[in-house]
Amino acid sequence: MHRRIPWFRTDLGDADVAAVATALRDRRVTTGPLTAELERRVAAFLGVPDVVAVNSGAAALLAALKALGIGPGDEVVLPGCSFVAPANAVLLAGAEVRLADVDPVRAVMDPGALEAAIGPRTRAVIPVHPNGRAADLDTIREIARRRCLVVIEDAAQALGSRDRRGPLGTGSDAGCFSTGITKLLATGEGGIIAARDPAVLAATRRYRNQGAESPAGNRFDHEGFNLRPTDVLSALGVARMDGIDARTASLRRVHRTCREAFSDLRRLRLFDVDEAAGELPLWVEAIAADRDRVIAGLAARGIEAKPYPPALCDCAHLRCPAPLPRSRFFADHGIVLPSGPDQPDEDLARVALALREIDRQDGGRMPEAP
């Protein structure tokens, strides 16, 4: 019986365990100096003056929206092919969601669809960088400039990815990152907000602490919520910053290995990732002719794979039923294959063998996005 292959694997080492144990022994539990140290380390990694840590990537989006004045009566445009977190953050901020379809190749926001989705109450746009693939920020920012919109980058899956102008998430009004367990800097849960305007960062710090200027000040002069991270998980983040270059190289190795191993498959193709420009794929993502059959076939062989989430236009609570054919295409055919910086080569070889067996059995034709 084969050992089960998880869809994502990142290992915690002795240094990670020791960092958490030290934090607990020193009673560094709630937000404190270890969180401040993590913020310093991440800011240096991104090449920005400062960042703010919160307790999830979704919290980062909410805090950024509130810091930039987005609220009731406003609309925010999102790509229709995305995890639901940015849409829920918009709703929690009191604003409304408008959706724009994605491009037919990389599943990033289509600037033409963005322009068409902008209405008289639109105040912001949230381009998403799925799996480190950069949205067309030059065009999106130009549209935003002309239409007086705030730009908040959802870079939850893009820490470590770059475009020609620099690290994703660092060149707009705000950028939001995740340090969830399947991310480059995995602390289990956590989020980071980057912004070059100190006033925006100050507002996010207040918002994460119930609106107080300082954790111990006990003066609540602003709207806020408890979005504070813990020093325990920040200690893990600080320790894992030491291995971030090695994990980056390993993620590239895994993606390269799979790209070569899967190149002869007739009914599955990997997403285009521009690694030469600096994009970093966290996961091995593909389009499959019969996605559900592939997932079932892999599961029967002890291999985990994950489907794409539904298109946001099909999430009833968002009340955005506009037809988004490309977003639905990726939702119907997108698959995440076994990935992660600590995924062994022998497991990747098992995945490739299984996919070839499934590919020979499957009679479906490779679909194209509309």
* DSSP track, 291-335: HHHHHHHHHHTTB--EEPPPPGGG-GGG------HHHHHHHHHEE
Give the integer Cα–Cα distance in Å for 102 and 104. 7
Domains and CATH numbers, the chain: 14-241 (3.40.640.10), 244-361 (3.90.1150.10)
Could you tell me the CA-to-CA distances from 258 to 146, 290, 346 in Å, in that order? Answer: 42, 19, 12
Given this model, what pLDDT does residue 1 score? 58
With a pLDDT cut of 90, the percent of the chain lying above it is 91
Given this model, what pLDDT does residue 362 score? 66
Burial call 251-264: b when 16+ CB within 10 Å, e when fewer: bbebbebbbebbee
Given this model, what pLDDT does residue 219 score? 79
DSSP 3-state of 128: strand
Radius of gyration of the chain (CA): 21
| pLDDT score of 250 more than 90 | yes
Dump pLDDT digits (tens) for 308-324: 999 999 999 998 878 89
| pLDDT score of 43 more than 80 | yes
Determine contact, residues 133/284, Cβ cutoff 8 Å.
Answer: no
Given this model, what pLDDT does residue 153 score? 98
Could you tell me the CA-to-CA distances from 93 to 61, 65, 72 in Å, in that order? Answer: 10, 7, 7
| pLDDT score of 215 more than 70 | no
Q: Would you place residue 363 in the very low, low, confident or very high pLDDT band (cuts 50, 70, 90)?
A: low
What mean pLDDT comes out for the span 111-116?
Answer: 97
Q: Would you place residue 217 in the very low, low, confident or very high pLDDT band (cuts 50, 70, 90)?
A: low
Which of the residue ranges 188-192, 204-208, 317-321 would you say has the lowest mean pLDDT?
317-321
Given this model, what pLDDT does residue 320 score? 85
Given this model, what pLDDT does residue 179 score? 98
Whose CA is closest to 255, among 127, 160, 171? 160
What mean pLDDT comes out for the span 52-79?
Answer: 98
Give the bridge partners for 166, in sequence order. 163
Given this model, what pLDDT does residue 126 score? 98
With a pLDDT cut of 70, the percent of the chain lying above it is 98
User: Helix, strand, coil shares of the chain as percentages rounded to 5?
Assistant: 40, 15, 40
Residue 22 structure tokens:
């030290």
What mean pLDDT comes out for the span 173-192?
Answer: 97
Given this model, what pLDDT does residue 3 score? 87
Q: Would you place residue 160 in the very low, low, confident or very high pLDDT band (cuts 50, 70, 90)?
A: very high
Name the E strands within 215-309: 268-270, 284-288, 306-307
